[in-house]
Amino acid sequence: MRFQGTDSYVATDDLMVAVNAAITLQRPLLVKGEPGTGKTMLAFEIARALGKPLLQWHIKSTTKAQQGLYEYDAVSRLRDSQLGDERVKDIRNYIARGKLWEAFGADGSVVLLIDEVDKADIEFPNDLLLELDRMEFHVYETQETVKAKHRPIVIITSNNEKELPDAFLRRCFFHYIRFPDRDTMQRIVAVHHPDIQKTLVREALNVFYELREVPGLKKKPSTSELLDWIKLLMAEDIPPEALRAKDQKVVIPPLAGALLKNEQDVHLFERLAFLAKRERGN
């Protein structure tokens, strides 16, 4: 059971080692990296490559750790009791399973994605320590212990908005997805758009990396934006020459809206481009 990347996902060596170590030792893998470098995609691709079902647990600022285990719906039980419903006698009717329980209870091993763990409250990871470590938890209402039949492969992503507690980190493998270099980027583009002309890719990458160098951008364009942009370029059938025409009158690359997502960034870029043009004019 080895992860080698897939036909639609380029995995670097270090990423493969980290993923395989996490799979073999059955520890969670914590993935960090710039937004848009494929953290969430990684879980999808691992599930696809290993032919396992994927369970997704997307974390929001209001998510509590308990929700991943189970929720006891006391309110509807109370209502039912007042209405004299028969269901009320069995407490199990009011326990809703969370994603972790689903993963633990599955018949084969599954891939569990805990997405953007840093969005939740600061105590959230601490509340999951034992559950992720031993892959079991206790249900107080029914006095039963849920234990994983097969330890799931747990992928946790973080956008670095909060520091994660040390105790939590100690239990994980860690991988930081670096922004891909030119060669890797070319491979990524080739995987996604195999029929794209070579020159177009080269010119597009030139423009792309130049754009990333512009100082002060609020959100630097990342891999996913590049792929979208190239898709657009292909759909519009824009010739490579149009991209190369940087030193001519054209200052903004065509369809730049796919790369710059922020009004201030577009404005900043336009101003810089204008200045550059004026300098050349002199």
Partner 1 sequence: MFVNFFLELKKAKVPVTLREYLTLLEAMKQGMAEYEVEKFYYLSRAALVKDEKNFDKFDRVFGQVFKGLEGSGEAVVEIPEEWLRKLAEKTLSEEEKALIQSLGGWEKLMETLKKRLEEQKGRHQGGNKWIGTAGTSPFGAYGYNPEGVRIGQDKSRNRRAVKVWDKREYKNLDDDVVLGTRNIKVALRRLRQLIRQGEADELDLPETIRSTADNAGWIDIVMRPQRRNKVKVLLFLDIGGSMDDHVRACEELFSAARGELKHLEHFYFHNCLYEKVWKDNRRRYTETTPTWQVLHTYGHDYRVVFVGDATMSPYEIVYPGGSVEHWNEEAGQVWLQRVTQIYQKAIWLNPVPEQHWQYTPSVQIVRQIMGERMYPLTLEGLTGAMRELAR
Footprint of partner 1 on this chain (CB under 8 A)?
13-14, 17-18, 20-22, 24-25, 27, 29-30, 32, 61-62, 75, 78-79, 82, 122, 163-164, 166, 169-176, 215-216, 264
Q: Rounded to an integer, what distance in angstroms lies between the CA atom of residue 125 and that of residue 117? A: 8
C-beta of 30 vs 243, nearer to partner 1? 30
C-beta of 79 vs 138, nearer to partner 1? 79
C-beta of 25 vs 96, nearer to partner 1? 25
Contact yes or no for 151/105 (Cβ under 8 A): no
CA 64, 66, 70, 72 torsion-angle sign: negative
Quick one: which of 36, 6, 35, 34 has its CA closest to 19? Answer: 6
C-beta of 32 vs 97, nearer to partner 1? 32
Which tokens hold the place of 90? 């069995």
CB of 116 to partner 1, least distance (A): 16
CB of 126 to partner 1, least distance (A): 14
CB of 132 to partner 1, least distance (A): 14
C-beta of 78 vs 252, nearer to partner 1? 78
Contact yes or no for 208/221 (Cβ under 8 A): yes
CB of 215 to partner 1, least distance (A): 5
CB of 262 to partner 1, least distance (A): 11
Strands 153-158 and 29-33: parallel
C-beta of 52 vs 77, nearer to partner 1? 77
Helix axis angle, 13-25 to 39-50, nearest 10°: 60
CB of 47 to partner 1, least distance (A): 20
The amino acid sitting at 155 is I
Contact yes or no for 209/243 (Cβ under 8 A): no
Q: Rounded to an integer, what distance in angstroms lies between the CA atom of residue 245 and that of residue 247? A: 6
Q: Which residue has the tokens 């519009």?
A: 236
CA distances from 52 to 147, 154, 236, 252, 267 (A): 19, 12, 38, 44, 45
CB of 161 to partner 1, least distance (A): 10
C-beta of 167 vs 236, nearer to partner 1? 167
